[in-house]
Amino acid sequence: MGKAYIKQIAYYVPEKVEFNPQNRLTKKTGILSRHICGENEIASDLAIKACEKLFLKGVDKAKVEYLLYCTQSPDYFLPTTACILQGKLRLSETCGAMDFNLGCSGYIYGLGLAKGLIESGQVKNVLLITSETYSKYINPEDSTVKPLFGDGASATFIEAVDTDKEEGMNGFVFGTRGNGYDKLIVPVGGMRNRFGKVTIENYEGVFGAKRTNYDLYMDGEAITEFAMDVVPDCVEQVLQKTGLRKNEIDYYVFHQANKFMLNYLQQSCGLEDEHFWNDVVNYGNTVSSSVPIALCDLLKQKKNLVLRKVLLCGFGVGLSWGGCVVGLERYKI
Amino acid sequence: MEQFLEKMQDVLDCEQEVKMNTALGSIEEWDSLAFVSFIAMAKAGFGKTVKPADVRNAKTVEDLYNLVK
């Protein structure tokens, strides 16, 4: 059976780049530009591009036994987008495929599922894909939310490795605060408030930010409060579960929400002296793809670092969070 | 207190000097972004979970200080 290991990661961001206005918000968030998909380009298109890059990096697609697809922007209500992806990627017909709907915590949940599938002996490997296009949900005149989110997709190949060592992916911690479901939401379009059957309501917020009930809404205050509340505890629990001290972690990679948020989280977790990834400059918040994009860039930029223990933490829409420690020493650059 | 004012200067990211008796209404940068920053700073710098409603009721910088001290 063996232990589940991350073997390879690739990501794709759309060609089109949008620059944020040079203002106070941009200075604080640290997001100078974002990649935005085209009118007819959707999340599963980005997912295919990310997978093609992964296959070019040496992952044999004929080997893939299970496809996990994390998105909140499916092609259709039904069928499952992961099934469409299996067909378009020409994966084996013996490959399992399923979607799961999560946002900023999704990558951690995906790794947890992959570990379960592999270490229980159900499959030998998992292709975990994340892809999100919040730009399609955000009102173009919502000047407070639009500059935060960028589109993007990632593909991670996780495979069983025969080893007795306590490595791989460990210390999984999960959490949910479902009564905060309406703090980050697209209210209309699902079954509760069906598309076209609900009257359009217009809202105008601070700085003349405009949106309707058909658009993405984020209560920034509530989300900040939530993240500051749950992330330090989550990190603490992951360390406890793995029996590691703070300084034994080679790198901390959190969901890349924005610069000032990450700075405050670093402080409140007491990680000022640790290696802590904070890079939103050219991507913005890419939701479920932010952690794998960060990991990919980290591996590329810090080739000399041995990354045996990387602590990941995701938090956001749901409200949902999760954390774990991954070893990247089997990753082939 | 000095440490607090320093952190507030960072939260507000403004030109004018921030003092304890400064009215929040007189600071152009006391906006929703600074509001969110303040909530995060209170937790990160002082370990305090402040309620958004209490922050909203604050009239001066000192009122904010009282929430974190």
Tracing tokens 């093609």 back to the chain, one arrives at A52
Which domains does chain B carry? 2-68 (1.10.1200.10)
B5: distance to nearest CA of chain A, Å? 17
Tens place of pLDDT for every residue, chain A, 333 residues?
689 999 999 999 999 999 999 988 898 899 999 999 999 999 999 999 999 999 999 999 999 999 999 999 999 999 999 999 999 999 999 999 999 999 999 999 999 999 999 999 999 999 999 999 999 999 999 988 999 999 999 999 999 998 877 679 999 999 999 999 999 999 999 999 999 999 999 999 777 789 999 999 999 889 998 998 999 999 999 999 999 999 999 999 999 999 989 998 998 899 999 999 999 999 999 999 999 999 999 999 988 888 999 999 999 999 999 999 999 988 876
CA–CA gap between residue A12 and residue A260 (Å, rounded): 25
Which domains does chain A carry? 3-161 (3.40.47.10)
Nearest CA in chain A to B35: A221
DSSP helix/strand/coil, B21: coil
Name the residue among A25, A220, A268 with its Cβ closest to that of B44.
A268
| Window B:30-59, CB contacts with A under 8 Å | 31-33, 35-37, 39-41, 43-45, 47, 49, 52
For residue A310, how far is the Cα from the chain centroid?
Answer: 16
pTM as predicted: 0.93
Residue (of B36, B53, B58) closest to A225 by Cα position: B36
Tracing tokens 């946002």 back to the chain, one arrives at A103
